[in-house]
Structure 1
Amino acid sequence: MIVPATAQLAFDGSGIDGSLFTSVTDFARDTKWLNTPLELGTNLGLGVFAVLMAAGWWSARRRGTEAMTVALAAPVAVVTAFAVAEVVKKLVAEVRPCRSMPHAYLVDACPARSDYAFPSGHATVAAATVAALFLLDRRLSAIAAVFALVEGFTRVYVGAHYPHDVLGSVLIALPVALLTSLALRRWATPLVGALSRGTLRPLLTAGAGAAAQPAR
């Protein structure tokens, strides 16, 4: 039988923290009443991060051009971090736990073989949102951090990722999102300022007297 090259190169991460993974999935087996809510929540929870970024944009309308630039940079930073994570995912090619540990209790359906495990895309979005909002509003960033912890746990709970997949996502997303936001704050502020004086003014500022304010 000819084995596809992708299967030959696939990395089995069960030897890293497979025992911790099964401890969490065993907990999922013992709390079946939580399975459906957390399976739904692990995907719908991504909407929370979109709402938090929208809240940051709304607040930035009253805080000046630089704050608005950071607010607009947030989704760009998240997408950038996700793109980097996807590249890493293809390079590492770690098979999903459902394939390397098929006897574990799994809530989530097993994805295609080409959908690798490391790093977690969901956890990447969550951690990147935390970093992007940190430069804009520390309170929103703290709220995002709480939801990011929940998101990371649910990815393991449903059996979609190993714990190290989630940790790897954080280590990738935080610096990428933070550096992207810093770069855009530096280079895009003049552009946002110019747009604020044009037809997009209602979306970018709440009034002519808005003064620049630091991250809160």
Structure 2
Amino acid sequence: MMKNMNEQLFQAINRYAGQWDWIDDCMEWFAQDIVWVLLAIMAILWFSGKPNHQRLTFYACLSAAITLFVAAYFISPAVNHPRPFVGHEVNQLIPHAADPSFPSDHSILAFSLAFSVFFVLRNLGTVMLALAVLTGLARVYVGVHYPADIAGAIVLSFLVSLAVFLLRERLEPLPRLTIGLYGRIVKAIPGLPKK
């Protein structure tokens, strides 16, 4: 029953792909490039030079790395769920390898960063979560993921990001070391502004 619901919801979203060029172009961009916007936001936070923002960036990237690792080496091989375009007629707008689809890596990256920021900076985190939702929706629209792939990514990203957030005091030596090393590198490079 869940499989049928997953496929029906996929069809309800994907059936609109290929009908309007401008919507397709937007969705293709959302599906592939919003993650670069989110990464740019993290870079801005890091290069602000504010220790709290750098600490937040470290934890967000740590959350994303852990979640992607768990998904790639444990969950995805165990579930081994085929992508929608494998064995079905779909409106596929972007090329993709026929590797397992559950959970969505793009959505994991987007939601891990967004949840991590949301726990600390609510306004910015809300904007990032909206961008993450667009990423997930677009991945379904362009025909490379089922809705369950996105839902799985959201749940996994939330749980790992929350765990990292709750354990941040115990993990504190890691960002402190990273921020310290960055500070030393900046001081050693001539011509860079010193904080």
What TM-score does the superposition give when structure 2 sets the normalisation length? 0.81
Asked if structure 1 preserves the Cα contact closer than 8 Å seen for 2:54 and 2:179, the reply is: no
2:1 maps to 1:15: no
Q: How many residues align?
A: 187
Which of 1 and 2 has greater Rg? 1
2:162 equivalent in structure 1: 178
Whichever residue aligns with residue 108 of structure 1, its letter is I
Distance in 1, matches of 2:182 and 2:155, equals 39
Q: Which amino acid in 2 is paired with 1:76? A: L
Distance 1:41 1:53 in 2: 18
Query: 2: CA distance between counterparts of 1:167 and 1:198?
Result: 37
CA distance in 1, matches of 2:177, 2:85: 51
Where in structure 2 are the equivalents of 1:67-216 lying within 5 Å?
Answer: 68-86=54-72, 87-101=74-88, 103-112=89-98, 115-183=99-167, 185-190=168-173, 192-193=175-176, 200=183
Render the CA deviation track for 1:19-41: whole Å, top value 9, x for unaligned.
Answer: 22112111113223322342233
Residue 46 of structure 1: CA displacement?
Answer: 0.9
Q: What one-letter code is carried by the residue in structure 2 that aligns with 1:116? A: P
- Please report the RMSD computed on the Cα atoms of aligned residues, expressed in angstroms: 2.7
Are the structure 2 counterparts of residues 193 and 106 from structure 1 closer, same or farther at C-alpha, using a change threshold of 3 Å?
Answer: closer
Task: In structure 2, list runs of 5 or more residues that go unmatched.
Answer: 187-193
2:102 maps to a residue whose letter is F
CA distance in 1: counterparts of 2:149 and 2:85, whole angstroms: 14
